[in-house]
Amino acid sequence: MIDPILTVRDLTVTFPDDNGGLEALDGATFSVYPQEFVCLLGPSGSGKSTLLRILAGLLAPTSGTFTYIAGPPRIGMVFQQANLMPWRTVRENITLPLELEGVPALEADRRAEDLIDLVGLQGFEHTWPRDLSGGMAQRVAIARALVHDPDILLLDEPFGSLDALTRERMWAELSHVWQVRRKTVLMVTHSIGESLFLADRVLVMSQRPGRIKLDLAVDLPRPRADEMRYTAAFGKLARQLKDAIGFPTGIGSDSRSVLDTRY
């Protein structure tokens, strides 16, 4: 059996507040394996972002451990907002992680160009972020997260701010990028449809304080096309996720409405 690239054990976070502290995470435990695409699904406020921030080294847990197999990893992070530097052009934004590592400019530009091709932004290399659409900006953010060849991608609702149509196009693109680059991905999402479209495995978090409530393998064949969501297998998985989250399902709900629900 392969060793997990990331092992998370009993992570607990308590934010100080006026009445004894606010528990955001309560003993989250799971593993992520190399080249796996894992989605983290859970209700709002269940501590998904908090968990991701810990794994990115932005926040120290109150207790518990997380271990990357090969020591401190290179991290590629994508946030809910594209989070580009407005004073850098598309290409300059993408080369940022390489600059920080001291990669020579010529080499950095070459690697940025590869990614610009991969995410389909040819011709926009020298565009300022203010002139990009939401979907284009998010693609720049994904390219930036990939450019330094990270050990793990941490995505926090990267498509949350996009309209439904663009979001679905981005799913296809992300899954394409993931298949080309074969990265380990941990992605937070609100959407059952999104998680089933992208993930090998879905972790469902409980209401706050967050714990891993369900660890569901998604064995749908790839590449996953739009039609897949009308299959029985998809519907069954969606139902399992929905039950785990604890969202009331009506009698008349079919796989379609499951998909369109953001919870």
Ligand X SMILES: Nc1ncnc2c1ncn2[C@@H]1O[C@H](COP(=O)(O)OP(=O)(O)OP(=O)(O)O)[C@@H](O)[C@H]1O
- The 10 Å Cβ neighbour count of residue 47 is 27
Residue 72's binding partner, choosing from other proteins, Mg ion, ligand X, none, with beta-carbon cut-off 5 to 8 A by kind? Answer: other proteins
Indicate the residue among 86 and 221 with the shorter CB distance to other proteins: 86
Residue 24's binding partner, choosing from Mg ion, ligand X, other proteins, none, with beta-carbon cut-off 5 to 8 A by kind? Answer: ligand X
Residue 189's binding partner, choosing from ligand X, other proteins, Mg ion, none, with beta-carbon cut-off 5 to 8 A by kind? Answer: none
Residue 250's binding partner, choosing from ligand X, other proteins, Mg ion, none, with beta-carbon cut-off 5 to 8 A by kind? Answer: none
| Min dist. Cβ of residue 78 to other proteins (A) | 10
Indicate the residue among 22 and 172 with the shorter CB distance to ligand X: 22
Exposure string of 234-260, with b = 16+ CB inside 10 Å and e = fewer, is: bbebbeebbebbeeeeeeebebeebbe
Candidate ranges 32-40, 48-56, 63-71, 124-132; the one touching Mg ion (CB under 5 A): 48-56
Picking from 157, 163, 161, 238, the residue whose alpha carbon sits closest to that of residue 197 is 238
Name the site residues for ligand X (rule: CB under 6 A): 15, 22, 24, 42, 44-50, 190, 208
- The 10 Å Cβ neighbour count of residue 176 is 14
CA distance 179 to 30: 23
Which parts of this chain interact with Mg ion (CB under 5 A)?
49
Which parts of this chain interact with other proteins (CB under 8 A)?
53, 56-58, 72, 75, 77, 79, 81, 83, 85-89, 96-97, 99-100, 128-131, 148, 154
